[in-house]
Structure 1
Amino acid sequence: MSKASPALDALPPAAASALRKLGADLATARKRRRESLKAWSTRLNVSVPTLMRLEKGDAAVSVGVVATALWLLNRQGVLADAADPKEDLGALEAEVQQARRRHVRRVDGGKTAPAPVGQHERNSET
């Protein structure tokens, strides 16, 4: 058995919960297809114990195994969309804050003040 990764020890509870749900959902999908652990593990090219760990939501299971399991269900698209930049609200907020810092106006003796919200949008429409 390999050494435990510090990243796995620091896994946020929300991420661990999401992995447990994913594992349970993958187990349900396998059972609905009436596939045994042995047959499904063969299709995934993993051992039965690894498949059992996957279905329990073990974070140490390879992302490649997860991707293959999703592919077997024809659900690989959800993995491809997981970090879609257009859904990254944190990065969008950072870009908005950066744009606000670039667009400051000068007041009273050279001090700066943030441009009023929406000023840039009004000026760009004209």
Structure 2
Amino acid sequence: MPKTARALQQLPPATQAAIEKLGADLAVARLRRKESLKTWAQRMGVSIPTLQRLEAGDPGVGIGIVATALWLIQRDGELGMLAAPEHDRGAIEMDVREAVALGKARAQAAAVARLSAERGKA
């Protein structure tokens, strides 16, 4: 039996639940299309056990396999936006904090320069 990567063993519970929901949703999509495990697996280019692992929410299933399953149900186009920088709230918040700090530093430097200029005139 292959070793499970430590990262997969340490998945946050909400992330594991989301992966399991994705697998279950993909199973529903297959069943609604009246596709058998065998046919769906052949269309994906994977084995039936791999498809079963995907549908069970196994986090060890490769992202390429997940992407192929999403392609079969015409939902793969959304993959490109999952980690798009313009939607990265954490990074955006960091950028805003840095911009605020820079603005404060510039305002303070301008105030010091004005005071120096006023003292030079006196």
TM-score of the superposition, structure 1-length normalised? 0.81
| Residue 70 of structure 1 pairs with residue 70 of structure 2 | yes
Match of 1:40 in 2: 40
Measure the CA separation in 1 of the matches of 2:82 and 2:56.
20
Q: Deviation at 1:101? A: 1.4
Helix, strand or coil at the partner of 1:34 = coil
* 1:101 equivalenced with 2:73 (yes/no): no
SS at match of 2:59: coil
Structure (1 or 2) with the larger CA radius of gyration: 2
Aligned match of 2:28: 28
Task: Give the match for residue 50 of structure 1.
Answer: 50
What is aligned with 2:17?
17
Letter in 2 for 1:31: L
Aligned residues: 108
For the residue of structure 2 that corresponds to 1:103, the secondary structure is helix
What is the letter of the counterpart of residue 108 of structure 2?
Answer: R
Deviation >3 Å, runs of 4+: none
Q: TM-score, normalised by structure 2?
A: 0.83
What 5-or-longer segments of structure 2 have no aligned partner? 113-122
Deviates more, 1:5-14 or 1:79-88: 79-88
Structure 2 residue aligned with 1:117: none
Residue 80 (str. 1) matches residue 106 (str. 2): no
Q: How far 1:106 moved relative to its partner?
A: 3.0
